[in-house]
Amino acid sequence: SSFLLADLTFSYVLLIIIACACLALSVISAIYVLVYWSVKEEVWRTLLPRIFICIGLTLVYFIPLLIPVDVSLAYLAPEFTFMTVVWQVLTYGVMGFSVVVFPFVLFCMEQRLDHQKSWIATTVCSTGQTLVAVGVILLLSVILYFGIQVAEISVLTYTSPTVSGLDHALSLVDQTLTNIVQTTPFNTNVDIPLSFTNFLIGTFSLLGSLFFTIFFGIGLAALPIDWINQFRKRPRVMSRSDLLKFRQKFARKSDQLLKEVDEIYTKLSHANYHGDKHAMIMDIENNNRKQLFKKQSKLEKHYEIVSRETRQIYDIYQEVILMNQKETANPIKYFYKLAIGILALAFSLLIFIQLIVIMIDQFASGIFSQIGMGDIYFLGALLKYAQSAVSVPLISTLLFALISLYTTFCFTKGVTKFGFRFILFIPIHEMSIGATELNSFIFNVLLMSIGILPELQFLTFLFKDFSYGSGAGLLFSEAVSNIKYLKFWFDYYIVVMNIMFVISLVYLMLCPGQDVHDSLQKMLSDEQLKVNTEIKKQNNQIKMRSVTYKE
């Protein structure tokens, strides 16, 4: 018994270390994403909304990583039920951030675009809009609760010889199940009353799954293919004469860009500063956009488009130049990206095959048992084998954490790649590397946070047998996923997910886009009339022109 106690103690300490490492990884990933996507000059400005962004991103990355820890704890000590409480607290926290905090911050940022509004008016309007969003969620939950009230669960679920988490399940319902648990398995369902909080979680998960299904299906294909396409579109080595012509054309285009910047600043000088060029220069140096673009929303939008598109020109140009200099050329990094892309593609195809197998079994029940395939959830069976191979569930925990993290990466990739689109074609709050405005960032983190609960539900569904008995498995796989009438969507939404994966995979493989050199040549061509500029990298020349104009 002393050896068993020592093994359990070691396992608990190991799981705590893994959980802390996951939290640290999530925080680092959140800060990296914030810096990578934000406007470079404004990364550390307006800190409060960015703190909320970091908290939201940390939740997006960290919460799915708790499922492997939860499953391991249920395996080591099934009599402990505290993870059920932990998951309920986390779900309420996620819903609070997604329905209250992020919408309020987003509405505030949108209201502040109107520079004539005071903070009081902004707060009042944002509070009203947030209350409307909360009211919609509560109203839908009330309608579902009084219209359905039950979860339709198969008795076979509770007659498994491995049922050790039955007491956990009893805490989720309003009456005991003693009259149906100890029976012989038979193919039927029972209606089990659920509490209002379960319907609140179910409503949120239902709405979030509409986004998660699309974004995850796209990201499952886009994540590996984008890595592979970076290798396919890598810059090529140019001859000395071609490189010289290339630089000359770029220099001429840069001069055009600077003239465009001068025109924007001249219009702002006459509109907002009444000829006071010194005050305008101070606002430019201090990045005081509120004063710089006061009552000039059209010029501000033009400025944003100019900055975003021109950053791409300079970044691609720099990449071409680095590849064509002996001291800085590093073609090996593109082979690393190819290797990562191939490995990620193998992960995506493995998940896709698992979803296809589950989907076929749903439409043709028993077909795999006829051909001798006992467990259709082969990914979960693999983790169960790894869990039982050693007394310490280290390998299964790490593998599950890796798959959970990859699932999160795919979902967030879908959000940043496709984003929210009006009628599927018009992008709204589009994200751009190094040029994402704060309100757009908050909007996309809101989409990511809405997908947290559906992702938890998806992971417990994908690893149904492996996660059974854990707090997350009982809450999502047994309670929320089986809400009567809603379970039809929760059972078959993987069909939509697979369709989105196939469409995205085919499109990205057949249409990778232009390579770096051709893309930049098009941007620098004389036919390209839309001229843009990158303010930060040309700051010294802009200041010189502005000072000359002042004199």
CA distance 63 to 23: 9
Provide the pLDDT for residue 375.
74
Q: What is the pLDDT of residues 357-401, one digit of tens each?
A: 888 888 877 677 666 666 788 888 888 888 777 666 778 888 889
In this structure, are residues 39 and 434 in contact, taking their beta carbons and an 8 Å threshold? Answer: yes
Q: How far apart are CA 438 and CA 500, in angstroms?
A: 29
pLDDT of residue 414: 92
Cα 186 to chain center, whole Å? 41
- Strands, DSSP E only, in 74-180? 150-154
What distance in Å separates the CA atoms of residue 291 and residue 300, rounded to the nearest whole number? 11
* Beta bridge pairs of residue 428: 420
Amino acid letter for position 248: Q
Structure tokens at 442: 């908050």
Query: C-alpha dihedral over 492, 497, 503, 504, to 10 degrees?
Result: 180
CB 517 within 8 A of CB 235: yes
Task: Give the tokens for residue 500.
Answer: 């989105």
The answer to whether 411 and 451 are in contact (CB under 8 A) is yes
Beta-strand ranges (E) seen in 75-212 are 150-154, 189-193
The DSSP output letter for 239 is -
DSSP class of residue 476? I
Contact 320, 524 (CB under 8 A): no
Question: DSSP string covering 40-69, please?
Answer: GGGTTSSHHHHHHHHHHHHHHHHGGGHHHH
Distance CA 33, CA 79 (A): 39
Q: What is the DSSP string of 328-375?
A: T--THHHHHHHHHHHHHHHHHHHHHHHHHHHHHHHHSTTHHHHTT---
Is the full-model pTM beyond 0.95? Answer: no
Per-residue pLDDT, 157: 44
Taking the CA atoms of the chain, what radius of gyration do you get in angstroms? 27
Residues with pLDDT less than 50, the chain? 1-5, 156-187, 526-551
CA separation (Å) from 237 to 313, 363, 514, 517?
Answer: 18, 53, 16, 10
Are 304 and 41 a contacting pair, CB within 8 Å? no
Helix or strand holding residue 189 (H, E): strand 189-193
Which pLDDT score is estimated for 528?
43
Torsion angle, alpha carbons of 195, 198, 202, 203, to 10: 60
- pLDDT given at position 454: 92
pLDDT at 549: 38
Query: From the CB of residue 423, how many other CB atoms can be counted at a distance below 10 Å?
Result: 5
> What is the predicted pLDDT for the residue at 345?
95
Per-residue confidence (pLDDT) for residue 392, from 0 to 100: 61
Q: Tens digit of pLDDT for each residue in 462-508?
A: 888 888 878 888 888 777 888 878 888 888 899 999 999 999 999 98
The pLDDT assigned to 174 comes to: 39
- Nearest of 126, 173, 182, 131 to residue 149 by alpha carbon: 173
Token representation of residue 439: 């309100």
Q: How many residues does the chain have?
A: 551
Block residue for tokens 């796209």: 218
| 389: its two tokens | 């191979």
How far apart CA 188 and CA 258 sit, in angstroms, is 73
